[in-house]
Amino acid sequence: MCSLSAANARFCLDFFRELKKRKRNENIFFSPLSLSAAFGMVVLGARGSTLEQIEKVQLCIGKLKPTTKHLFSCLKREEDEGVHSQFQALLAEVSEPGPGCCLTIANRLFGEITYPFFQQYLDSTKKFYRAELEPVNFKYTEEEVRDKINFWVENETKGKIKDLFAAGFIDPSTVLILVNAIYFKGKWAVEFKKEDTKEMYFHLNKNERRKVQMMFQEGYFNMAIIEELKTKVIELQYFNNELSMLILLPEDDCEDFTGLEQLECALTYEKLAEWTSWAAMQPLKVKVYLPQFKMEESYVLNNTLQEMGVMNVFDWGKADLSGISMKDGLVVSKAIQKTILEVNEEGTEAGCSTGLLAMPLCCPITCEFKADHPFLFFIRHNQTSTILFFGRYSSP
């Protein structure tokens, strides 16, 4: 399961690199695990060059090496059940984080009713990904289908995500829609006291700032300092310690706001794993300042995935999904993901060698972690080291 989590993390960072090209200095929040699982379902039915393109998605930053592990190349065809079974076990484990946390990962394929779907494919998606393909009538009742999809998403996310598709978004020519819906709510292991929350400024850049409700607490937290990048890393654990939010905060000041850009350029799977490893992080006494924030992001993923090399599956003339249906013309028309995250006092409702400076446990100095400027963060399932969500918070 570790290799699958590593592949998921590589895909996460590669996807982030592509996504941030369109969203410079904007908030970003997505779930790599849910997207990976959903495309795992596509892999079960993809054939020929369509399958090959998905398998060749590059999951490392920099030059591709022959030994690089690819997430989708592991998934292969439906007869190779190994990794699909791993995904089945992984999804089951992370979806049951225990008391104090609620995590919903919902995946579904909505397909045109006039296309006959192979029962073997339907059985496999249900078995491995806890998802079903629902036949719908796009040709004549596209608005009713839109309402049905929106209702399904709202129900799966306990009412938090509404209206995934706006009116007119679905047209009669649609054949297949891939939907991911994610909801997470977790209580901090140690909650922030509401009376300690004060109004403070969040600096977007050296020229712009906005008022936020800044939470505060002082205590012992796992922390590391990336000396080379002047970046602090802190772990905020959720109740029962099965899940954690890890925040990477560059030490920018009002004169120089290039730290986040430098961090993003240096970010690789190997470095992220090193920076957030148990060996690198030490329990230190820290004054933590963290803004209350809410993020709600919605992405049409077609262009981003196409730039990563997944093209044929979206092309009417080239898509080969013959493992899903015997009828020609099946194509993934839209790939959508919508995520929501709310952070407050109670918790969250959703290669070169790098110098690590770890202070000794007996150090009397109290460190300060003040997230009053843009930062990266991710939510991790600790036992499997799986990244559930990844984001950049840059604007209140």
pLDDT per residue over 3-58, tens digit each?
778 888 988 999 999 999 988 889 999 999 888 887 888 888 899 999 888 877 74
- 25 and 164 in a single domain? The answer is yes
| 221 CB-side CA count, 13 A | 30
Q: Would you state the pLDDT for residue 213?
A: 97
| 291-324 confidence digits (pLDDT tens) | 999 988 888 888 898 998 889 998 888 999 999 8
Average pLDDT score over residue span 78-85 = 62
Residues 140 and 232 occupy one common structural domain: no
Question: Which residue intervals of the chain are DSSP H helices?
Answer: 2-22, 32-45, 48-55, 71-75, 81-94, 119-129, 142-156, 259-266, 269-275, 302-307
Q: What is the pLDDT of residue 351?
A: 21
The C-alpha atoms of residue 3 and residue 75 are separated, in whole angstroms, by: 12
pTM of the model: 0.87
Residue 257, pLDDT above cutoff 80: no
Burial per residue of 179-205, b for 16 or more beta-carbon CB atoms within 10 angstroms, e otherwise: bbbbbbbbbbbeebeeeebeebebbbe
Residues 112 and 127 in one domain: yes
Do residues 245 and 238 make contact, with C-beta atoms less than 8 angstroms apart?
Answer: yes
Same domain, 74 and 122: yes
Is residue 215 domain-shared with residue 175, that is, in the same domain? no
* Residue 158, number of CB atoms within 10 A of its CB: 12
Query: pLDDT at position 66, please?
Result: 34
Report residue 24: phi and psi, to 5°.
-65, 130
C-alpha span between 242 and 97 (Å, rounded): 6
Domain housing 238: 187-292+346-393
What's the confidence (pLDDT) of residue 254? 46
Q: Give first-to-last CA distance, the chain, whole Å.
A: 36
For residue 73, the model assigns a pLDDT of: 52
pLDDT at residue 59, as a whole number = 35
Does 271 lie in the same domain as 133? no
Query: Are residues 322 and 194 both part of a single domain?
Result: no
Question: Quick one: which of 17, 16, 128, 20 has its CA closest to 75?
Answer: 128
140-156 as b/e, with b when 16 or more CB fall inside 10 Å?
Answer: eebeebbeebbebbbeb
Q: Are residues 288 and 302 in the same domain?
A: no
Query: How much of the chain, in percent, has pLDDT values that exceed 90?
Result: 36
Q: How many domains does the chain have?
A: 2
| pLDDT interval class at 123 (50, 70, 90) | very high
Can you name the residues that pair with 339 across neighbouring β-strands? 297
The confidence score (pLDDT) of residue 77 equals 43
List the CATH number of the domain containing 362.
Answer: 2.30.39.10
Do 219 and 308 have their domain in common? no
| Dist CA 355 CA 63 (whole Å) | 23
Task: Give the pLDDT band of residue 365 (cuts 50, 70, 90).
Answer: low
Please state which of the ranges 158-172, 235-249, 259-273 shows the lowest mean pLDDT: 158-172
The CATH number given to whatever domain includes residue 333 is 3.30.497.10
pLDDT of 111 > 80? The answer is yes
Residue with tokens 């109004």: 199
Averaged confidence pLDDT in the chain: 83
Distance between CA 118 and CA 314 in Å, rounded? 20
Bigger pLDDT: 1 vs 113: 113
For CA atoms 15, 17, 20, 25, the dihedral sign is positive
What band does 93 get if pLDDT is binned at 50, 70 and 90?
Answer: confident
145 shares its domain with 204: no
Checking if the pLDDT of 62 tops 60, the result is no
For residue 383, with 0-12 CB atoms within 10 Å meaning exposed, 13-18 middle and 19 or more buried, which class applies?
middle
Asked whether residue 269 falls in the same domain as residue 281, the answer is yes
CB-based contacts of 220: which residues, under 8 Å, 6+ apart? 283, 284, 285, 286
205, 160: one domain: no
Contacts of 21-25 with CB under 8 Å at 24 or more apart are 22/303, 22/304, 25/204, 25/205, 25/374, 25/394, 25/395
Contact 312, 53 (CB under 8 A): yes
Mean pLDDT of 113-123: 87
In this prediction, residue 159 carries a pLDDT of 85
324-328: average pLDDT:
85
Report pLDDT for 86: 80
- pLDDT, position 67: 32
pLDDT at 359 over 50: no
Domain boundary among 306, 327, 342: 342
- Chain segment 136-177, per-residue pLDDT in tens: 999 899 999 999 999 998 888 888 888 888 888 888 888 778
Digit-coded pLDDT (tens) for 187-224: 999 999 999 999 999 999 888 999 999 999 999 999 99
